[in-house]
Amino acid sequence: MGGAIIPIDAAALPVTDWGLTHSDIAYDVVPVWQGGFFRLDDYVARFIASVTTGRYDIGLDHAGICDALHRMVAASGLSDAYVAMVAARGRNPVQSSRDPRDCANHFYAWCVPYVHIVKPEIAAKGTSVWIAKSVRRIPADSVDPTVKNYHWGDFTSGLFEAKDRGFETTLLLDHAGHITEGPGFNVFAVFGSRVVTPDAGVLHGISRRTVLEMCSEAALQPEVRPLPLEEFWEADEVFLSSSGGGVIPVARVDDRHFSNGTAGPVATRLRALYFDWIMRPDHRTPVIRA
């Protein structure tokens, strides 16, 4: 923070930072696996696109952000890490102003040991997902889902529903009844050799992009298009994609069991392929350690 590397429990934001008071933040997360960043340039490029869309001025270019992340992860000593980069609106020095142009934008980053959004032992067997009934995904013309942000009000409501019913996580529909995404992941439905993922109301995740690219190698046909709930129920199998765990098979959605209640063969194959890709030299940037 402020160009200095500090322990994460010493990091703090002022209580009047618009990042806190208005959830006015854009961020991204890049994984580090066995000492190397995965697709670092792609993650940083998407972060910069979000920063540009949100009209943040953080005073760092692509190279400067990469340098900050390298220095921080090296100082942490972590070999496997979950690495966040953040642009916050900052404090408004004019006490009565509601003009976002007055705010002092700033950049900060943090890293912790690698985060699996679903525990590996659960993912290996297939996780459970609850489709939220009390809330729909925030419309794209209200909050742009392609800009990774902290607006989790809809996701949090869905998570309460899911956890209260014994499910691992939640998935949201849009107001037209189409599948969108969940907290920290994109979703895919498999129909034979076709792998379908929603085209709207979702983050264009780097893990999502990785899955779409892996499909060609795995002789699968990716489709990016609307995915109505009625069609989703007819899928052969379902899986999630996330920077926190790669490809995550799903065994159950609501009361519907997929792949006979286990991790499906396509998802299992792609999960193994993801962890192959994450180690490939052309996708990997070793952490620079002094």
Which domains are present in the chain? 8-113 (3.30.470.10), 120-277 (3.20.10.10)
- Contact by Cβ (8 Å): 215, 241: no
Tens digits of residue pLDDT in 2-43: 999 999 999 999 999 999 999 999 999 999 999 999 999 999
Q: Is the pLDDT of residue 290 over 90?
A: no
Tens digits of residue pLDDT in 242-272: 999 999 999 999 999 999 999 999 999 999 9
β-pairing, 25-33 with 81-88? antiparallel
Where does the pLDDT of residue 95 fall: very low under 50, low under 70, confident under 90, or very high at 90 and above?
confident
pTM score of the predicted model: 0.96
pLDDT at 96: 82
pLDDT at 113: 98
